[in-house]
Structure 1
């Protein structure tokens, strides 16, 4: 492959450290980049010891700028494997982004892999060394000799300054592809990525709309919009499900498709009503807040199996103090009795995971907080604690207001984290239904349970 030196977004320093790209710079000239391949590096990712969150972040950041990710790979700390992935990516896409492997230890080999892929020897970058020495001096700490590895770069590449850590990024060209290597820690990677993307000539973002819903199954939802999901459509719809939230994604080719996207989104919302709650990045908790504010209602929570997750979702919404009074995490039965006023005889008779207990919890939360609505959860998230009558995944959700109490029993599939996340989604949807006067069964609900 042919290696071309890269001269940055502006003038290249004589020592090879690109100060322009690190600080934003002006957009580089050249052909528009439409496609990318992304690579996450680390043995811990392949072993499943650490979750690879970089792939999603890179895909979202690139898609928002009109660049389509063709493939995301995970490579171990192996020079040959990383170099092969870089060469393959450069042959297929206009941009290759590598994250991780720029640390000071011997298993941080991404810079060696880039040098191998570019057939360019590693050299010390004088300005990167000055930055590193200044970083340690500013913290009054001696610089370990091993950190000098972080000042190395392929001769045909430049360094990207890292004001948030000790590892400079790397940038160069391999044939017609831009190759960028970013440090692994998110607080270092995210801002560096933004600065790099600002300097690239990327394609115009494609317009897109995402319709959000909760409480309806994906297959049932898909059957209601089947004609829109046919793959030979010019603008096909794709659905995904995560943590109890169903999403329908529609992507146009350019801004001329915007009116069609709006019409299609409206069609999906009508087909999925009353389960749809918003578009794009709107969360279910945000919509609950809008509906409660519109109805001039306030809310309190009482949580057992969800352990404060409903309250956390609510308080993630800025300004939620206007409609959220607060809540209780009553994991132990005695807390249900003392904090919420649940009758201990009811717990002894029916068990903590029961209609009677969860309705008492909801009513107690509303009464003791002075809120208009109380929502409560009590269930068996697993992996243990289930029985034939109440298997793992059984969750009761109760809601109380001035008109009375209501409780629904759900049987959520999945592991402990999935059960709890789905319980949060259904609880919030129940609040939304109550605030808007909607009556509808929800996914995983056990009709007739008592």
Structure 2
């Protein structure tokens, strides 16, 4: 089954709003073994909508449309659908009654333009929206089936579950979808792809790379009539990729971020963590405490932005800072060791650097970052020169520091 998605709205084309509905519908379909063949985004212009619907209906058997289902004069999707179908717009009595009751129950006046949401092309199925006002409309026209959804994301998601899912389940052609994802940190997208070049390629598998800053994701997809066969293909691909990529893979769980993977490793080892941060300004602590249950392994953090704070909170000798500068291996090590001693954590991270855009010198240019990790095995140090802007330098620094912990625990 060929499927095309059409999203409608000026706000999607002028930059006011990101289109998340295409991704939401594509994910919904992918879980049912169906790929999206094409997608269009058009403005709130009747002619543009008509053209997009006709083109989609010529190219696909199923067309999923979102947006333009509201009560105002710029909501023109139903008018366009009627033109494509060659049928008049008619008012659905059941939808109109539900709209009136909904407004009355909330104490809102029912104005004439609200009745626009009860209109659909003659012969279309008008399906109740239990979480909003605009219904879902299913229309057969020109050999294609159209589903029209409101543009509100949570309403679209509910209506897809209620109506599109059962409709698809009744039709043959959907095959089980299986995938595995490896999330990596520490290499660029091109480097990761190069590391996997030597792996054998099975034509029944598709590999995809995604740069999701600051991580690189590698996904293997298999759509096979036999789920067990698909799982076997994916297991072989996953094992080969893990061996080729080594310790840059931090998880196979799409929902797990690096900080959570570090926390899981700390819990398995029965260890705890603290962090002393300068240029990252508490970002390591935020990443850790964003993880539910992180109090089991993340004890505390200190944002020691000034030299005085490094001395006062972490015990870094003023003479050490004077001799080497705050951005130095010596100070990073002292910060980590001071944090470990004061917090009682098994491991303590320290980050000190120049995130930019100013503050650099010929000896210590912008992007110079020093990392230290103090633990039972001793204190390690790494120096990096990062090439990004201020915010990205800070994000990569926080991730790099956490990855030091993960790698230490790996041994």
Deviation at 1:342, TM superposition (A): 5.1
Please report how far the alpha carbon of residue 418 of structure 1 lies from its aligned counterpart in structure 2 after TM superposition.
Answer: 3.9
Aligned partners of 2:48, 2:81: CA distance in 1, in Å?
A: 11
Q: CA deviation at 1:345?
A: 6.4
Q: Root-mean-square deviation (CA), in Å? A: 3.1
Could you state the TM-score of these two structures normalised by the residue count of structure 2? 0.85
Q: Which residue of 1 aligns with 2:348?
A: 374
Structure-2 change in CA distance of 1:264 and 1:123 (3 Å):
same
Counterpart for residue 68 of structure 2: 101
Match of residue 384, structure 2, among 410, 426, 430 = 410
Q: For residues 342 and 357 of structure 2, what CA distance do their matches in structure 1 show?
A: 33
Q: 1:348 to 1:137 in 2, by over 3 A?
A: farther
SS in 1 for 2:211: strand
Partner of 1:246: helix, strand, or coil? strand
Q: Report matched runs for 1:362-441 at 5 Å.
A: 362-382=336-356, 389-437=363-411
Q: CA deviation at 1:270?
A: 0.5
Query: Is 1:58–2:25 an aligned residue pair?
Result: yes
Partners of 1:129 and 1:333 in 2: CA distance:
68
Match of 2:84 in 1: 117
SS at match of 1:274: helix
The CA deviation at 1:296 is 0.8
1:208 to 179, 182, 199: 179
CA distance in 2, matches of 1:143, 1:104: 11
Q: Which residue of 2 aligns with 1:323?
A: 297
Q: State which of 235, 247, 250 in structure 1 corresponds to 2:205.
A: 235
In 1, are the aligned partners of 2:33 and 2:223 still within 8 Å (CA)? no
Cα displacement (A) at 1:165: 2.7
1:159 aligns with 2:126: yes
Asked if residue 81 in structure 1 is aligned to residue 63 in structure 2, the reply is: no
Match of 1:140 in 2: 107
- Please name the residue that 2:155 is paired with: 188
Does 1:275 pair with 2:252?
no
1:260 corresponding residue in structure 2 = 233
Gaps of 5+ in 2: none
Contact 2:136 2:148 in 1 (8 A): yes
**How far apart, CA to CA, are the structure 1 residues paired with 2:156 and 2:275?**
37
Note closer, same or farther for the CA distance 1:135–1:410 as it changes in structure 2 (3 Å cut). Answer: farther
CA contact (8 A) 1:342 1:360 kept: yes
Q: Distance in 2 between matches of 1:297 and 1:175?
A: 64
Deviations 1:147-182 (A, max 9, x none): 333232222323333333333232222333321222
Cross-structure match for 1:174: 141
* 8 Å contact kept, 1:229–1:238: no
Structure 1's consecutive aligned runs of 4 or more residues displaced over 6 angstroms after TM superposition are none
Q: Quick one: distance in 2 between partners of 1:334 and 1:39? A: 58
Find the aligned partners of 2:307 and 2:77 in 1 and give their Cα distance: 53
Structure 1 residue runs of 5 or longer lacking an equivalent are: 1-33, 438-450
- SS class of match (2:261): helix
Taking the aligned partners of 1:54 and 1:395, their CA distance within structure 2 comes to 40
Please state whether the residue corresponding to 2:177 is helix, strand or coil. Answer: coil
Higher relative contact order (CA 8 A, sep 6+): 1
**Alpha-carbon separation, structure 1, partners of 2:70 and 2:323:** 59
**Where do 1:291-330 residues align within 5 Å?**
291-329=265-303
Q: Distance in 2 between matches of 1:387 and 1:143?
A: 66
Mapped partners of 2:178, 2:298: distance in 1: 35
Distance in 1 separating the partners of 2:305 and 2:130: 44
| Alignment partner of 1:285 is 2:256 | no
CA distance, structure 2, for counterparts of residue 161 and residue 349 of structure 1: 73
Q: 2:217 aligns with which of 247, 262, 269?
A: 247
Bigger mean CA deviation after superposition, 320-329 or 424-433? 320-329
- For 1:329-355, what per-residue CA distance to the aligned partner results, in whole angstroms no more than 9, with x for missing partners? 556666656555555666676665544
Q: In the superposition, relative to structure 1, how do residues 397 and 77 fare at CA in structure 2: closer, same or farther (>3 Å)? A: farther
CA offsets per residue over residues 278-324 of structure 1, 9 Å max, x none?
22414323321221112111122344544544344434434333222
How many angstroms apart in 1 are the aligned matches of 2:82 and 2:359?
55
What is the TM-score normalised by the length of structure 1? 0.78
Query: Matches of 2:334 and 2:78 in 1, distance apart?
Result: 61
